[in-house]
Structure 1
Amino acid sequence: MKNQSVKSNLDWLSVIIYTALLIMGWLNIYSSSLPIETTTTFDFGEFYGKQLLFIIFTIPLIIVILSVDGKFYEKYATIIFAISLVLLAGLFLFGKTIAGQRCWYAIGSFTIQPSEFAKTATALALAKYLSDVQVNLKDPARQVQALLIVFLPIMLILPQPDPGSALIYTIFLIVLYREGLPAWYIWTGFIAIVLFMMALMFEPYIIILIAAVVTTIVYLRSRIANRNILASAIVMVLISGFVFSVDYVFDNIFKQHHRDRFNILLGKEVDLRGVGYNTNQSEIAIGSGGWFGKGFLEGTQTKGGFVPEQHTDYIFTTVGEEWGFLGSLVVIGLFVALILRVIYLSERQKTKFSRVYGYCVAGIIFIHFFVNIAMVVGVFPTIGVPLPLFSYGGSGLWAFTILLFIFLKMDANKVNEW
């Protein structure tokens, strides 16, 4: 095993991009939460002051992560995952309810959200499982075991209820597909989403008729040896059952605010003063920024407080209004660069564990980034997914820092040629 220096082998390009996003995020939190009555930059009673403290605490956190032996993360991955599940389950007994969600532990005035850290734990557990030489995802039993790792935290997060965090975990299915999970799992999920959205827009019989036509075409275009009329019939029965169940699920399982958000997204309701207010104001703020923006601290929508929760889930509206289209492109470009860099580093790893973990890191950052911006510009329902390193909050900031720097530690060691 080589005694390599973490400092000399650390991927500084990733660190620079991370730092740039962190600084830009804080500047936008500062702008969106600065009171009309000017106070000191270091007012720790304001959101920007608290976020500055959270950022300062990332420094010792990074030092600790980079100081730990890279083998630690693989050796104790299962234990870390088990602890994360216990913490998620403990919320039902000891969690603090905020805005109808029981997602936080409260320690005095400080709150921490375990679902943010559970993403790293799940990524480690999945990488540990898939790095086992005995694991072949062509085996149905192995598929079930791998999927169980992904869906255990989802089943604990959904009842909190926190559908936004639960959605993030579905990105692990793409990682599993990369490692050999049959493609039909991905297609099934995609088709289910399409059918669900269609069932909210059209009568069930119309959707079933379309599905029957598509199934018949697929059946007839299949090779003679592969034709199986029984399998096609079973598919149609499952599709029909799913389509007819959508209304029941939508009316009885979804909460009212979730139903409202879907109805607004699909154009079935126009509620610019109620549920649709956030998205409408967000679109106005971003659109008003033009090409070059109104300038730092000059956003009228931002200063007027027209966009609720602008320092958290809607932080990108500040970017759009004050930095404009070009500034937004810079931010998006930095996120894309970080994701691509992590993927590149993942491909050069010497062990399957670190490679799989790297893909999990890239996937988690991507789905957060994609869903948040899609939500802010009104092409995705509001479900409370923060923008990594930008949105206010210590749990999210520290969780993304841990997630990324564990991987950078692995890469710095080149996994030490175990």
Structure 2
Amino acid sequence: MNNHQRSFFFNVDWITVLIYLALCTIGLFNIHAAVYDENHPHIYDLSTSSGHQLIFIISGIVIGSVILLLESRFLSALSPAIYVVTILLLILVLVIGRGVGGNQAWIDLGGGFKLQPSEFAKFATCLLLARYLSATNVKVTDTKSLMIAGGIILLPMMLIKMQPDDGSTLVFCSLILVLYREGLSSYFLIIGGLLATLFITSLMFEAWQVVTVVVIAAALLIFMLKRNRTMVLKLLIGTIISIGFVFAAKPLYEKALKPHQRARIDIVLGLSKDKKHVGYNQNQAKIAIGSGRVWGKGYLQGTQTKYSFVPAQSTDFIFCTVGEEWGFAGSVTVMGLFLFLLLRIIQIAERQRAPFSRIYGYGVASIIFCHVLINIAMAIGIMPVIGIPLPFISYGGSSLWSFTILLFILLKLDSNRMGMNWA
């Protein structure tokens, strides 16, 4: 082994690689449990979903290894081309895409294999966003720079929304955390949080009740800041906008979302009872997770899993299998691994010398965090059902490969961080 190979070997963050392999292994065993068939009892049986996932994992490891052998500069240089190709695929899927679960999100490649471009759009967007924000004289505090950065994020979002894939669309919103890390004013996050709060409360209460609270709160703040005319003026403008938003919330809610989407949200917020069994998936998911109690029912012993009470149990609701068969202990272990992975990614991002690598690292953390948060929150019933996979654990080649590429690009950048001061 020469010095270059030895340096490469020791510079790769193997702790992150081990977490990745652990999550993939957990996913493989839970997929096997979710689709277990006594006529095909072996986890490596290629006629089953677990057999397919094993191939996806092996090929994912190969893809990750190839990425680690690439020249780091190519990743930045090729980011515009990768982004353009992904955008073209997102347009193509709207033309020839195959519908699955109500979404026209897949391109049929033949042989039973389907490609989901929206999954690959995540790392493509992170790459181009990092390339742009790391350029000289680009600052998110500048309106023009912020609009261009926003455009990079919004373009794939709009195309994915047209499929329509609301879950994947929502994930791209997490990239605002990247902009915040690079200097975006906290006012944007505060305003976003306030608008989200107003929106939810406007659905739960009458408009006049919400407006009354807003006016009283604004009056108290104005009284406290009456000597600061600039702040008083901003508060008055903000109050007027908030009142208008409150009255517009329900009409917007009814027009922007489909009936089944509104029904899911209404059930979570307690605005209606589930008389039509719209929340069947979520109810069964909560039953499955709750039935596992502390230590679980044991591997391959889950009754909710075995009798397929939970739809999409190997994909969107894979966490139910974890909860039922591994119990609270297993669920906490899986969530702990994800927390460890996210903290590790942030640590990797912060130790980069090149802005491109740091920005990309925060993009990786944002995407994975959003997926984990929404998927698990959906499974335990505190968020409405949104079809997005649990990273590295849910069944699917496109999902596993895209997350593998997303993560291993960061590992490659990190392995060469001491020699990177460009961008």
TM-score interval for Structure 1 and Structure 2 normalised by the shorter chain = over 0.9
Partner SS for 1:103: strand
1:255 to 243, 258, 277: 258
Aligned position for 2:71:
69
Asked whether 1:311 is paired with 2:314, we answer yes
Aligned position for 2:58:
56
Cα contact 1:351–1:415 (8 A) shared by 2: no
| Whole-angstrom CA distance in 1 between matches of 2:38 and 2:279 | 26
Asked whether 1:154 is paired with 2:153, we answer no
Of all paired residues, the percent bearing the same amino acid is: 44
Aligned position for 1:84:
86
Aligned position for 1:165:
168
C-alpha displacement of 1:269: 2.3
Cα contact 1:6–1:409 (8 A) shared by 2: no
Partner SS for 1:105: strand
C-alpha displacement of 1:357: 0.6
Q: 1:396 to 1:272 in 2, by over 3 A?
A: farther
Aligned position for 1:128:
131
| Whole-angstrom CA distance in 2 between matches of 1:387 and 1:248 | 33
Aligned position for 1:181:
184
Asked whether 1:237 is paired with 2:240, we answer yes
Per the normalisation by structure 2, the TM-score is: 0.95
| Whole-angstrom CA distance in 1 between matches of 2:4 and 2:228 | 58
Cα contact 1:286–1:321 (8 A) shared by 2: yes
Q: 1:69 to 1:321 in 2, by over 3 A?
A: same
C-alpha displacement of 1:272: 6.9
Partner SS for 1:365: helix
Aligned position for 1:296:
299
Letter in 1 for 2:64: I
Cα contact 2:90–2:159 (8 A) shared by 1: yes
Deviations 1:51-86 (A, max 9, x none): 111112112211221111011111121221222222
Letter in 2 for 1:374: A
Cα contact 2:310–2:317 (8 A) shared by 1: yes
Q: 1:140 to 1:340 in 2, by over 3 A?
A: same
Partner SS for 2:228: helix
| Whole-angstrom CA distance in 2 between matches of 1:138 and 1:223 | 28
C-alpha displacement of 1:317: 0.7
C-alpha displacement of 1:344: 0.7
Cα contact 1:272–1:280 (8 A) shared by 2: no
| Whole-angstrom CA distance in 1 between matches of 2:186 and 2:117 | 31
Deviations 1:21-76 (A, max 9, x none): 10001100000001243444333232112111111211221122111101111112
Aligned position for 1:347:
350
Partner SS for 1:107: strand
Partner SS for 2:104: strand
Structure 2 unaligned blocks of 5 or more: none
C-alpha displacement of 1:156: 1.3
Q: 1:192 to 1:383 in 2, by over 3 A?
A: same
Cα contact 1:171–1:364 (8 A) shared by 2: yes
Cα contact 2:35–2:314 (8 A) shared by 1: yes
Higher mean Cα deviation, 168-177 or 234-243? 234-243
Q: 1:263 to 1:23 in 2, by over 3 A?
A: same
| Whole-angstrom CA distance in 1 between matches of 2:286 and 2:78 | 45
Partner SS for 1:224: coil
Letter in 1 for 2:373: F
Structure 1 unaligned blocks of 5 or more: none
1:367 to 344, 367, 370: 370
Q: 1:228 to 1:23 in 2, by over 3 A?
A: closer
Asked whether 1:377 is paired with 2:383, we answer no
